[in-house]
Amino acid sequence: MNNRGGVASSLFEREGFRLAVIKEISTVASVAMPLGENWTVSRCRYSPEDGGGARLCIATGIHGDEMMGQLVIYAIAQRIMKEPEHLHGVVDMYPMLNPIGLDMGERLVPFSTRLDMNRAFPGVPDGTPLEAMCYSIMQDMLGADLVLDIHAGTMKKSELYQVRMHETTAERMLSGAADLCPQLIWYVPNKPAFNATLTGALNAAGTLALVLEADERRRRPYVTTPAVIEGIFCKMKAMGIWSGETIAPRRLEDIPMVRSEEELCRVSATKPGVYVPENCTGREVERGQLLGIVIDALNGEKVEEILAPAAGLVFSQRSYSAVYPGTLLARLCRKERV
């Protein structure tokens, strides 16, 4: 490996194949921090020798308490280096957009104001350090054929592997989302906050972007990540970037969808206590079916039964944890609209 102008590059070849993969690590942006530290975002690019083909960007780590994307990017890199002859396009990976937050296990950017990086796009070049960083990241990704922004549920929540897209762009991106083989597709409502996310800002600027969300399961990361990894390779194949073996894409009609608020059912606690869930994530439930209970351990009482308010697919569920009135416990994709 050598360094040229701040770019580290390597050449990977497989014996018997003429095609090779070039790996380049470069700095997207670096901002000075207190105490002499730097907030640096790096990109690793894998491309064929001729540099041609479509371009896919995979970003993760925008929230420092979400770790799943690290394993996803590692696994994708390992497969590309193992089978370089199958790469026919550019794959740009951004494994740590919020590296300081990741080091500290903090969701937000750990400045004194604790700001959410995913509410600061598209950024401005001469703004605050956060705004300047977001601007540089945006500029680096603009023009890609597709950007995937990987997020993970917190340790207190389990999620099916899902694709989330803005409702204003969902219809033209729907068929392409099916190539990612998700367990659910969710149209995000048209709210101003979404426009300040990485995905929202990229779409507004004309670069297609999707959010991938899945359960993190930090103690058993290999439970969830294979579905995301295989879905990304399936999408790479559909884009002409990858020619290796992949799983078959799911038929669009077989993927559950939440297209509107009427198709989404949120279940919240009304009493404080400890939530003891039933194992319902990924399962179809009927109206009135038990999702879990809220207990008062001090008094030895069950203070609330959490029942499904509608029939549908449970695609998000809170794990065993303390809850309070209003705490979100589950999300369902309704079988029928209300």
Kindly report, residue by residue over 6-31, the tens digit of the pLDDT: 455 566 555 554 457 899 999 999 98
Position 337 confidence tier, pLDDT thresholds 50, 70, 90: low
Kindly report, residue by residue over 269-285, the tens digit of the pLDDT: 999 999 999 999 999 99
* Both tokens assigned to 144: 């890609």
Q: Taken in order 64, 291, 229, 257, is the CA torsion positive or negative?
A: negative
How many CB atoms are located within 10 Å of the residue 195 CB?
A: 17
Position 113 confidence tier, pLDDT thresholds 50, 70, 90: low
In angstroms, the CA 195 to CA 190 distance is: 9
Kindly report, residue by residue over 121-180, the tens digit of the pLDDT: 999 999 888 899 999 999 999 999 999 999 987 668 888 999 998 888 888 889 889 999
Q: Can you give the pLDDT at residue 20?
A: 78
Q: Where are the chain's structural domains?
A: 2-258, 262-334
Residue 61 neighbours by CB under 8 Å, 6+ apart: 69, 70, 94, 95, 96, 97, 98, 99, 101, 102
In angstroms, the CA 97 to CA 65 distance is: 12
- DSSP code of 33? -
C-alpha distances (whole Å) from 119 to each of 42, 59, 270 are 20, 16, 29
- Write down the mean pLDDT value for the chain: 88
Q: Out of 1.20.1540.10, 3.40.630.10, 3.30.465.10, 3.40.50.1220, which CATH number does the structure's domain 2-258 have? A: 3.40.630.10
Residue 139 neighbours by CB under 8 Å, 6+ apart: none
- CATH, range 262-334: 2.40.50.100
In angstroms, the CA 306 to CA 269 distance is: 7
Kindly report, residue by residue over 227-254, the tens digit of the pLDDT: 999 999 999 999 999 999 999 988 999 9
Position 217 confidence tier, pLDDT thresholds 50, 70, 90: low
Amino acid at 72: V
